[in-house]
Amino acid sequence: MPQLSSGGGDDLGANDEMIAFKDEGEQEEKIQENAFTERDLADLKSSLVNESEINQSPNAAAVRRGQQGEHRGFPEKHREHLDGVSKQDGGMYKTPAYPGYPFLMLPDPYLPNSSVSPSSNKVSVVQQSHGMHPLTSLLPYSNEHFSPSPPHLPTDMSQKTGVHRHQSQDLSGYYSLPPGSVGQITPSMGWFPHSLMLGPSGMHPTGIPHPAIVPPSGKQDHDQYDRGMYVKPQVEAKREKEPKKPVIKKPLNAFMLYMKEMRAKVIAECTLKESAAINQILGRRWHALTREEQAKYYELARKERQLHMQLYPTWSARDNYEAGLSGVAGEKSKADWGKKKRRKREKQQDSNTGQMFCWWGNPRESETRDSS
DNA sequence: ATTCCTTTGAAGACC
DNA sequence: GGTCTTCAAAGGAAT
């Protein structure tokens, strides 16, 4: 997939994958989208039965018609549009489009018992039954939303971090940024949620860890016992002495942001729980979005990458590649990694030979076939 | 307990 | 430079 090494300005996503649906009737698309849920479910279920059959369904043909060729021509327009978007933050960020922006999604992993009263800290999100985050009203983000002392947080959290919580407007007090980088934060970055304002070690001053930072996998921490006798491999023992590096996760891309936001909604609507199935639906919906709607997420993702870069200038995606090869997991993971690689290759071969693509417009479809 | 599945997009590796 | 691979999230299913 040709990536846009865009001169001037960040690339906003894989342009060739952007869909120019809208040239032929956005309204229809909107209606379609509403009808998606039930159809998605039905489609998905039937697709699980026999994908090749579905390929021939009239419905499938209709959807394919709707998607074929309509992606083209979007990129440039899209970019233009996005330029506009970035200039009108007000329009974009006041929309309820990002309740699930990951840095606002504090509650789940980070605030285990975070049923916070609306007045205490709106950053905390409790997924509502209808799938929308109450965070909607959060954007643009403001310091007002940050309670100095979230009641749900252990009090010693802040003590441990050694950071005083206060509602200073001075970002330099919050960001753990390289010298001078605070000044590099453009005004447009002012909307960044507080959860991004980290202290040392990736902790927010409130004690809330940055979502991109996860503690080293606990999997390896399980002590190994052999008939009651503790056996700790030398390598592991050695590793234990070294301070464990927190794993810095990749910033979420546009689709991931979209998934995060919409997952609950789809789950509620479809009563589906299986992520693989949900992701299929979300993939379809993603392509059904208008370019404006997608643009919002591309812009968000761009800003997230931007901030990620500011926060972790030395971080590279490669770091996490290698986590499986060396580092934490050691030899086992090295082997697993090899297996994984093989599996993926085999899978791809299968898809090439087996016509295993989704009729509803799997965006990889063309890639897969082209590459064969 | 661990891996797989499934999606899109970004980024690194490789040829 | 084009292509391939990995990893981000998520959680049930499979191993």
Kindly list the domain boundaries of chain A, sorted by start residue.
11-147+169-212+249-315
Query: Gap from A230 CA to B7 C1', in Å?
Result: 42
What pLDDT shows up at residue A319? 86
pLDDT-derived band at A249 (thresholds 50, 70, 90) equals: very high
pLDDT-derived band at A211 (thresholds 50, 70, 90) equals: low
Q: Chain-wide mean pLDDT for chain A? A: 50
What pLDDT shows up at residue A285? 95
Pairwise pLDDT comparison (A235 vs A144), residue with the higher score: A235
pLDDT-derived band at A38 (thresholds 50, 70, 90) equals: low
How open is the CA angle A121-A150-A267, to the nearest 5 degrees? 55
What pLDDT shows up at residue A246? 76
Query: Gap from A79 CA to C12 C1', in Å?
Result: 38
What pLDDT shows up at residue A243? 58
Give percent above pLDDT 90 in chain A.
16
Give percent above pLDDT 70 in chain A.
21
Query: Gap from A264 CA to B4 C1', in Å?
Result: 22
Residue A260 has pLDDT above 60, yes or no: yes
What pLDDT shows up at residue A250? 93
What pLDDT shows up at residue A291? 92
DSSP A227-263: TTEE---HHHHHHHHSPPPPEEPPPP-HHHHHHHHHH
Average pLDDT over residues A50-54: 36
Tens of pLDDT along A262-288?
999 999 888 888 999 999 999 999 999
A347 Cβ nearer than 7 Å to chain B strand: yes
Lookup: nucleotide whose C1' is closest to A319 CA:
B12
What pLDDT shows up at residue A193? 38
What pLDDT shows up at residue A168? 33
Beta-carbon contacts of A187 under 8 Å, excluding residues fewer than 6 positions away, are none
Compute the distance between CA of residue A257 and CA of residue A102 in angstroms, rounded to an integer. Answer: 7
pLDDT-derived band at A44 (thresholds 50, 70, 90) equals: low
Average pLDDT over residues A168-187: 35
Instruction: Calculate the CA dihedral of residues A88, A90, A94, A99 and round it to 10 degrees.
Output: 60
How open is the CA angle A37-A13-A70, to the nearest 5 degrees? 60
Count the helix, strand and coil residues of chain A and give each as a percent rounded to the nearest 5.
Answer: 55, 5, 40
What pLDDT shows up at residue A98? 39
Task: Confirm if A261 and A99 have CB atoms less than 8 A apart.
Answer: yes
Kindly list the protein residues whose beta carbon lies within 7 Å of any strand C atom: A 1-3, 102, 105, 108-109, 211-212, 214, 247, 249-250, 252-253, 255-256, 259-260, 263, 273-276, 279, 317, 320-321, 323-324, 337, 340-341, 344-345, 348, 367, 370-371
Tens of pLDDT along A284-330?
999 999 999 999 999 999 999 999 999 999 999 888 875 544 333 33
What pLDDT shows up at residue A166? 35
Residue A257 has pLDDT above 60, yes or no: yes
Compute the distance between CA of residue A159 and CA of residue A43 in angstroms, rounded to an integer. Answer: 52
Query: Gap from A334 CA to B3 C1', in Å?
Result: 15
Query: Gap from A343 CA to B10 C1', in Å?
Result: 22
What pLDDT shows up at residue A215? 62
What pLDDT shows up at residue A366? 31
